[in-house]
Amino acid sequence: MAPSVPVVDQPVYDVAILSDLRYPGGNSASIVAEVRSQAAAGLSTVLIHVPSPHLRHARPFQSRIVACLRDGLADLAHDDGTEIEARVLLIRQPRIFTEDLATVPKIRAGHTIVVLNQPPGDESDDQRYYVFGEVRERVERYFGTAAVWAPISSQVRENVLRVAPHTTLPDTDWHEIIDVADWAVERPRRRIPVIGRHGRPDPVKWPRDPGELLQAYPDTGEVKVRILGGGEIGVRRLGRCPQTWDVVEFGAEAPQDFLASLDFFVYYHDPDWLEAFGRTILEAMASGVPVIVGPHFRAVFGDAALYSEPSGVRDLVLRLHADRPAYDAAVRRARAYVSEQFGSASHVARLASLGVLPPAARETPRSRQAEEMSRRARRVLFVGDDVERFRAIAAHLPGDLEAVVVAGSAGLARAHAAGLLTEYLPDAAELGVPAHRWASFVRDRLRHLSALYRPRAVLVGGVPHDGIIAAIGENTGPRWLWLRPAMWRRGTGGEWATRGSAFAGILEPGEFAAAGDEGWTAAARAGVTTVAPITFARRRPGSPRRKTLLCRGLHATLPGFSVVSEGAATLAVSRADYTSFHELIAQRVPTVFVPDPESSDDELARARFAAAAGVAVCATDDDEAAAALDRLADPAVREAMRRRCEELAFGNGAEDAAGWLAAHCREVDHAGHR
């Protein structure tokens, strides 16, 4: 029976989740985690209840799902045949489709993802739980053949490919997520270690052999055992309830509270059971308790878990309990792994790869006429956080060539403020994932954007990392071009040199300090197009009404001067990054450049060259910077520096860069765009 919860009309949802909302355990926990993640990101969700043929007895919706509905984190779909429209439809629990549905919900979605959170079978029968081909036929009949079949782990993936070897699966798993902050608890150090487990009661979730069961959950006085859910199955298999066991009924304690009572989470199951993922393991790691499981889980949890056969559990528990530094290290390692691999941000990012962006990252609404013009426009993607140079080039593109900036959160805001079309491409830190997983995400995200915008060219700023190279290999329609930075610090960056061959063209923005460039690109310019320094053509600021000190990238003060972060300036103190360096010299602002020693480009060489040319001052520490600012407080010194900047004025290569890019797009048109 469905609970009494608000049912709300909304034209288009960001995400629709279809499942049997009565399922206990991991299915409901995963739905709740995704709903909460989506709500936190400002995305709208609708839940669609479809009864599973395997839950024949009347039962209510799972309590955590009811809480999400009552808290307004998601809406509940009408069951009156009203069509639901969503940008993404997520279908969870394939066993729902082992029989024809009595009523097929009407759903229109931009993308349909079938999350395979249960394998078709187990070790003894590859299709014990459902026949994959039959489930696929029904899903495609109901929701279309474009549905993507997304396993949640390598175990599910391997099972599916055994029974349906020609099935196309995405390269990355639709892994579970968890908010680590919601699960973290502090636990006292206990004299006798407490081991335990929690989960829905199911015989396949327990060791079949009584001897192995007692090895994993000992009945000796050296450890205590607590079990939340399914303990009666273990008792039945042993024929008794050991005195050291505390068996708690499923649902009697909140999982977070239960995990706080444990020192070790120990999970073993029937040898024939193929665990799809192990969400309870994820929850235990997030709560800060070491996890001990069988070696077959290593493919999912890597170094975050402790692996042993049941016979080794007791010794492992006692050894680690006696070695607190090792215990704490195991906790830190597991928490870090869960946060990096399965944090909520990774879910928001994979939705973004499907075009579902948080409101803050969406473009502002435009008129119908503007949308129509946009559809007719030829597009070029600018990929990376090099937004100032992207903005400068975009300003000079022909009217029928439209720029779309694909950037991380910092660059996205600047591009959006400049009036450019934008798409979100979070970096690895924003996603909380390691480099290899981020590379796969970048590849998938650019594949989607290439299909969405059908660009004539893709201009990559910065470095062509693995994700970019993978995307180039998969998307041969547009022309891939590299906006290659110069002025690398000596001995750094050379590993990128060979990747230039992946691009149809390389453009290198000029450097005022080119004569001082000792980086690897200085000797690798064969076939590379170079232009004058690229800056956005801002009007030169007028003289400020009061004396002002402009600070860029660092903070300083000067008696008699007001500190500002933008606008007209009497003088400036700044890092020597590409944009600040060239803009300040071009605008003839007397400047003290303080190089950033951690920067990938050679800010020190830039600043020293500018000082030698008389257009700026170079300072390498706070004392030098303060002394230099004192000198520039003298109007005569500032005027001499302004005149020198005027004498050595350089051009702006933005127009030439735009012409070069437009020429590549014309070549694509002549060759026959997709």
At 486-541, the pLDDT tens digits run 999 988 998 999 999 999 999 999 999 999 999 999 989 999 999 999 998 654 55
Query: Please, which pLDDT band fits residue 225 given cuts at 50, 70 and 90?
Result: very high
**Between residues 409 and 133, which one has the greater pLDDT?**
133
Q: DSSP code of 376?
A: H
> At residue 470, does pLDDT exceed 90?
yes
Q: Provide the angle, in degrees to the nearest 10, between the axes of the packed helices 466-474 and 435-453.
A: 40
Under 8 Å between Cβ of 475 and 447: yes
> At residue 154, does pLDDT exceed 60?
yes
Tokens standing for 517? Answer: 């460039």
Q: Kindly report the average pLDDT of the chain as a whole number.
A: 87
Tokens standing for 653? Answer: 């290569």
Q: What distance in Å separates the CA atoms of residue 103 and residue 78, rounded to the nearest whole number?
A: 12
Length of the chain: 674
Closest CA to 224 of 185, 280, 252, 263: 263
Q: Which pLDDT score, from 0 to 100, does residue 670 have?
A: 75
Q: Which pLDDT score, from 0 to 100, does residue 255 have?
A: 87
H or E element, residue 115 = strand 107-116
Tokens standing for 446? Answer: 């650019």
C-alpha distances in Å from residue 51, one per residue of 88, 139, 280, 455: 21, 15, 24, 43
pLDDT, mean of residues 549-576: 88
Q: Which pLDDT score, from 0 to 100, does residue 537 have?
A: 60
To which residue do tokens 């066993």 refer? 95
Most distant pair of Cα atoms in the chain: their distance: 97
| Burial of residue 359 (number of CB atoms within 10 Å: 0-12, 13-18, 19+) | exposed
* Percent of the chain predicted with pLDDT > 90: 54
Residue type, 455: P
CB-CB neighbours of 439 under 10 Å: 19
Least confident interval from 96-110, 290-304, 314-328, 472-486: 290-304
Q: Which pLDDT score, from 0 to 100, does residue 413 have?
A: 66
E-state strands within 249-397: 264-267, 291-293, 306-307, 378-383
| Burial of residue 300 (number of CB atoms within 10 Å: 0-12, 13-18, 19+) | buried
> At residue 371, does pLDDT exceed 50?
no
Query: Please, which pLDDT band fits residue 362 given cuts at 50, 70 and 90?
Result: low
Q: Which pLDDT score, from 0 to 100, does residue 374 have?
A: 43
Q: Provide the angle, in degrees to the nearest 10, between the axes of the packed helices 279-287 and 324-342.
A: 120
CA torsion sign for 295, 297, 299, 303 is negative
Q: What distance in Å separates the CA atoms of residue 119 and residue 93, rounded to the nearest whole number?
A: 10
Closest CA to 609 of 512, 527, 529: 512
3 state DSSP class of 243: coil
Q: Do domains 13-163 and 548-647 have the same CATH topology?
A: yes
3 state DSSP class of 465: coil
CATH number 3.40.50.2000 is the correct assignment for the domain at 363-536: yes
**Between residues 543 and 244, which one has the greater pLDDT?**
244
CA torsion sign for 374, 380, 383, 386 is negative
Closest CA to 576 of 523, 615, 521: 615
Q: Which pLDDT score, from 0 to 100, does residue 347 have?
A: 85
Architecture per CATH, 548-647? 3-Layer(aba) Sandwich (3.40)
Q: Which pLDDT score, from 0 to 100, does residue 360 have?
A: 60
What pairing do the DSSP bridges indicate for beta strands 291-293 and 264-267? parallel
Q: What distance in Å separates the CA atoms of residue 537 and residue 652, rounded to the nearest whole number?
A: 8
Q: Which pLDDT score, from 0 to 100, does residue 275 have?
A: 65
Q: Which pLDDT score, from 0 to 100, does residue 127 have?
A: 85
CATH T-level topology, domain 13-163: Rossmann fold (3.40.50)
Tokens standing for 267? Answer: 């999970």
Q: What distance in Å separates the CA atoms of residue 18 and residue 638, rounded to the nearest whole number?
A: 68
Query: Please, which pLDDT band fits residue 346 given cuts at 50, 70 and 90?
Result: confident
**Between residues 132 and 564, which one has the greater pLDDT?**
132
Sorted by sequence, the CB contacts under 8 Å of residue 43 that are 6+ apart come out as: 14, 15, 348, 351, 356, 358
E-state strands within 433-584: 457-461, 479-483, 505-509, 529-531, 548-552, 562-564, 571-574
Q: Which CATH class is domain 180-342?
A: alpha beta
Under 8 Å between Cβ of 117 and 30: yes
Q: What distance in Å separates the CA atoms of residue 159 and residue 276, rounded to the nearest whole number?
A: 10
Q: Which pLDDT score, from 0 to 100, does residue 352 have?
A: 84
Tokens standing for 12? Answer: 């288009």
> At residue 372, does pLDDT exceed 60?
no
> At residue 376, does pLDDT exceed 60?
no
- Predicted TM-score (pTM) of this structure: 0.50
Closest CA to 573 of 587, 563, 559: 563
Ordered by start, the domain boundaries in the chain are: 13-163, 180-342, 363-536, 548-647
**Between residues 128 and 530, which one has the greater pLDDT?**
530
